[in-house]
Amino acid sequence: MPAHVSGDLPLPDLVKPARALLSVYDKAGIVELGRALHTAGAELLSTGGTADTLRAAGLPVTEVADYTGFPEMMDGRVKTLHPKIHGGLLGRRDSSSHQAAMQQHGIGPIDVVVVTLYPFEATVAKGADFDTCIENIDIGGPSMIRSAAKNHAAVTVITDPADYAEVIAALTDAGGTSLSLRRTLAARAFTRTGAYDSGISAWFNGQVSEATPRQLALGGALKQTLRYGENPHQQAAFYATGDARPGVATAQQVQGKELSYNNINDTDAAFELVAELTEPGVAIIKHANPCGVAIAPTLAEAYRRALACDPVSAFGGIIAVNRPLDKETALMIADLFAEVVIAPAIEPEATAALADKKNLRVLITGAMPDPKEPGLTYRSVAGGVLVQSRDNGHVGAEALQTVTKRAPTPAEVRDMLLAFTLVKHVKSNAIVLVKDGAAVGIGGGQTSRVDAAQQAVARAAAMAQAAGEPQSRAIGAIVASDAFFPFPDGLEVCLKAGVTAAIQPGGSKRDAEVIAAADAAGAAMVFTGVRHFKH
Ligand SMILES: NC(=O)c1ncn([C@@H]2O[C@H](COP(=O)(O)O)[C@@H](O)[C@H]2O)c1NC=O
C-alpha cells in the first residue's frame, strides 16, 4: 500500500499560479489561456509546437527541454517524462519532506497543467493503419494529467478547451483557482484519461481479436445532455463511443427539436432495421418495435405500404428509410405526425417538403450501417454489464431447409426472407406476417408465442377491415417466428387465419408435430437453423 503522508504545512484554498505547463495537440484557445496565466503571474513552460504558438502570439515561454535540460527525443515520444516535470506536479505543497526532496533535486512546483491529447480516437475513426494508430497514443500527456489530477489539492489540471473560459474567469476574478474548481477539473481529467484509454483498449482488443477482455473499459464523449430519460423523473445523457458506424450517434440533425432519450433508442432500432433491407425500404418504429415495414421498387411505394400495416400505431412514430429521402416520400411523411425521420441522404426538394414541420427531427447519416459488420452490444444488469457480439446473423435463400411436403414458391421465399429479417428486430416472442414485400401483422414482446401469433393475426384482420378490404391480410401471407414453434399451436393460429407458408429456426423436440400441422394445411415451411431472440 502506498504510504500515507500527512501534511504538516498549511495549504491555501486559493492557488495563484507561479508556473504553468502548456502542452496541447489542439491549439484552439491556448493563446487566450496562456495570456491569462501570464497576466496572473505564471511563468509559462511549453513543449515544441505549443511553445511556437504561444511565442508567435508574443508570450514569453520557456521550452520544457530547456527547463529539464533534456531535449525532446524519439520523435516526440519523450518530451515531458522527466522528474523535474512530474516531481513539480506531484510534490505535496503541504509536506515538508516533499518540499525538501524538491529542493534537494532542484525541482520547482508546477501549479497548472494544460494538456489536450493526441487525437487517437479521430485517428482510429479515420481508418488509419496500425502503426499510425500506435503513434497517436499519447503517453506524456496522460501522465501529466494524472500527476496533476492526483495533486489537485495544489495543482490545476485542464484537459478540454471547453474549460478554458472558467479558468480564465477564475484567474481574472481571484488571481487563481479555488480547491472546488481544481477538484472538479481533476474529476474531469481522470474521466478524460479513462475514456481515452478505453478507446485504446477497445481498438487494441479488436486488433488481437480479444472478444471478452479481462476488464471492461467502456468510454465515450458526452454528445448531448438529455432533458430526461425514459421517464421524466430519470436523468439521462447520450455519449458517443467513437464507433464510426453510421446511425443516430453519427448523424447530422438538419431540422427539428432536440432528440429525446426514447427518440434516440427508437431511431437506432429503426435505422438498424432498414439497413438490412436490400431493396428500397421503410420502417416505422414505436417503442423500439416496428409497426410497419415494407420494401418496394420506390421509397414512396415502400412508405405507403409500411404505413398501411398499422397507421394507428404509426402516429408519433420514428421513420427510417434506406435510400436518399425524395420529395414524394417526404410529402407523405409531412402528412403524418412523426417524431423523427432518419435517412442516409436527403434530396433538396425533400428538405423543402419537410421544412414546415418545425418539430420533426430530420437526421442524415451519409451512409447505411453494414448489417453484417461485427461489433459489440452492451446492457446493464444489477452489478454487471452484459456484452455480446451484435446479432449480425443473416439467412439467405441458400440456407433454407424445406421440411414440408410442399416447397415454397419463389414469391413465398422472398417474403420469408423479409419476414425472418424483421423478426430479428421485434422484441421476443416475435411473430411477423409478410405479404408481397410488406409486413401485414406484427406480434411482439409477448410471453407466449401463441399470444404473439394471435396479435399478428388480429392486426392483419383489423387493419384490413379498417382499410375497407374484403378479407384479412393474413390470407396468403407467410409467417416468420424468431425462435422455433415449441408446439403446433402458434403456427396453427396463423394457418387458421390463412397463412400459406412459414419460416422458423426449427430445433424443437416437437418439430415433427409442427411440420405435420403445416402439411395438414398444405403449407410450405422452411427451417433456418438460426434464432433471432431480441429482449
Ligand atoms: N512524450 C511526451 O513526453 C509528451 N509530453 C506531452 N506530449 C503531448 O504532446 C502534445 C503537444 O506537443 P506540441 O506542443 O509539440 O504540439 C500534447 O498532445 C501532449 O499531450 C507528449 N507526447 C506523447 O506522448
Tell me the pLDDT tens digit for each residue of 228-286.
Answer: 999 999 999 999 988 889 999 999 999 999 999 999 999 999 999 999 999 999 999 99
Residue type, 9: L
Task: Please indicate, yes or no, if residue 507 is contained in any of the structural domains.
Answer: yes
Task: Please indicate, yes or no, if residue 161 is contained in any of the structural domains.
Answer: yes
Distance between Cα 27 and ligand 1 center (Å) = 12
Contact 349, 227 (CB under 8 A): no
> What is the rounded CA–CA span in Å between residue 453 and residue 415?
17
Distance between Cα 23 and ligand 1 center (Å) = 6
Indicate if 294 and 147 belong to the same structural domain: no
Is the beta carbon of 80 within 6 A of some atom in ligand 1?
yes
Final residue of a structural domain among 364, 389, 416: 364
Cell of 439: 409486413
For residue 352, what is the domain's CATH number? 3.40.140.20
Is the beta carbon of 138 within 6 A of some atom in ligand 1?
yes
pLDDT in tens, 7-47: 899 999 999 999 999 999 999 999 999 999 999 999 999 99
- 478 pairs with which residues across the strands? 434, 501
For residue 88, what is the domain's CATH number? 3.40.50.1380
Residue 243 is predicted with a pLDDT of: 84
Indicate if 64 and 179 belong to the same structural domain: yes
Nearest alpha carbon, ligand 1 atom 5 = 140
Residue 5 is predicted with a pLDDT of: 60
Residue 7 is predicted with a pLDDT of: 86
b (16+ CB within 10 A) / e for 328-339: bbbebbbebebb
Nearest alpha carbon, ligand 1 atom 4 = 140
Closest alpha carbon to 320 in 395, 248, 393, 239: 248
pLDDT in tens, 92-149: 999 999 999 999 999 999 999 999 999 999 999 889 999 999 999 999 999 999 999 9
Nearest alpha carbon, ligand 1 atom 20 = 141
Q: What is the mean pLDDT of the chain?
A: 96
Indicate if 470 and 355 belong to the same structural domain: no
Distance between Cα 338 and ligand 1 center (Å) = 48
Nearest alpha carbon, ligand 1 atom 8 = 141
Nearest alpha carbon, ligand 1 atom 13 = 49
Whether 1 has a pLDDT exceeding 60, the answer reads: no
Is the beta carbon of 118 within 6 A of some atom in ligand 1?
yes
Is the beta carbon of 140 within 6 A of some atom in ligand 1?
yes
Indicate if 345 and 436 belong to the same structural domain: no
| Dihedral in degrees, nearest 10, Cα atoms 27, 32, 35, 36 | -120
Nearest alpha carbon, ligand 1 atom 22 = 140
Q: Above pLDDT 70, what percent of the chain?
A: 99
Domain count for the chain: 3
Is the beta carbon of 79 within 6 A of some atom in ligand 1?
yes
Distance between Cα 515 and ligand 1 center (Å) = 67
Residue 437 is predicted with a pLDDT of: 98
Distance between Cα 26 and ligand 1 center (Å) = 11
Contact 518, 525 (CB under 8 A): yes
Q: For a pocket test of ligand 1, which of 26, 118, 147 has the largest count of ligand atoms closer than 8 A to its C-beta?
A: 118
Clarify whether 287 is annotated catalytic: yes
User: What is the atom index within ligand 1 of the atom nearest the CA of 27?
Assistant: 16
Closest alpha carbon to 143 in 78, 203, 49: 78
Residue 3 is predicted with a pLDDT of: 63
> What is the rounded CA–CA span in Å between residue 70 and residue 514?
79
Is the beta carbon of 50 within 6 A of some atom in ligand 1?
yes
Distance between Cα 113 and ligand 1 center (Å) = 12
Indicate if 80 and 201 belong to the same structural domain: yes
Q: Global pTM?
A: 0.89
Task: Please indicate, yes or no, if residue 453 is contained in any of the structural domains.
Answer: yes
Q: For a pocket test of ligand 1, which of 80, 86, 121, 143 has the largest count of ligand atoms closer than 8 A to its C-beta?
A: 80
Task: Please indicate, yes or no, if residue 318 is contained in any of the structural domains.
Answer: yes
Residue 2 is predicted with a pLDDT of: 64
Question: How does residue 209 score in pLDDT terms, banded at 50, 70 and 90?
Answer: confident
User: What is the atom index within ligand 1 of the atom nearest the CA of 25?
Assistant: 18
Whether 375 has a pLDDT exceeding 90, the answer reads: no
Indicate if 26 and 144 belong to the same structural domain: yes
Is the beta carbon of 23 within 6 A of some atom in ligand 1?
yes
- Which residues are CB-neighbours of 372 under 8 A, at least 6 positions away? 392, 394
Indicate if 318 and 431 belong to the same structural domain: no
Residue 214 is predicted with a pLDDT of: 92
Active-site hit among 27, 223, 287, 534: 287
Following DSSP, what letter does each residue of 24-80 receive, concatenated?
Answer: ESS-TTHHHHHHHHHHTTPEEEE-HHHHHHHHHTT---EEHHHHHT---BTTTTBSS
Active-site hit among 16, 27, 150, 534: 150
Task: Please indicate, yes or no, if residue 82 is contained in any of the structural domains.
Answer: yes
Task: Please indicate, yes or no, if residue 231 is contained in any of the structural domains.
Answer: no
Indicate if 35 and 174 belong to the same structural domain: yes
Task: Please indicate, yes or no, if residue 217 is contained in any of the structural domains.
Answer: no
Clarify whether 233 is annotated catalytic: no
Is the beta carbon of 159 within 6 A of some atom in ligand 1?
no
pLDDT in tens, 46-56: 999 999 999 99
Nearest alpha carbon, ligand 1 atom 16 = 49
Is the beta carbon of 81 within 6 A of some atom in ligand 1?
yes
Indicate if 185 and 328 belong to the same structural domain: no
Whether 4 has a pLDDT exceeding 80, the answer reads: no
Q: Above pLDDT 90, what percent of the chain?
A: 94
Task: Please indicate, yes or no, if residue 261 is contained in any of the structural domains.
Answer: yes
Q: 392-399, long-range: CB within 8 Å, 24+ apart, which pairs?
A: 393/424, 393/530, 393/532, 394/276, 395/420, 395/421, 395/528, 395/530, 399/528, 399/529, 399/530
Final residue of a structural domain among 343, 364, 385: 364
Indicate if 292 and 199 belong to the same structural domain: no
Mean pLDDT within 165-173? 98
> What is the rounded CA–CA span in Å between residue 191 and residue 97?
30
Distance between Cα 47 and ligand 1 center (Å) = 7
Distance between Cα 203 and ligand 1 center (Å) = 21
Residue 242 is predicted with a pLDDT of: 83
Indicate if 125 and 192 belong to the same structural domain: yes
Give the domain extent around 431: 398-527
Question: How does residue 529 score in pLDDT terms, banded at 50, 70 and 90?
Answer: very high
pLDDT in tens, 508-524: 999 999 999 999 999 99
Is the beta carbon of 63 within 6 A of some atom in ligand 1?
no
Indicate if 351 and 414 belong to the same structural domain: no
Mean pLDDT within 197-203? 93
Mean pLDDT within 168-180? 98
Final residue of a structural domain among 182, 208, 234: 208
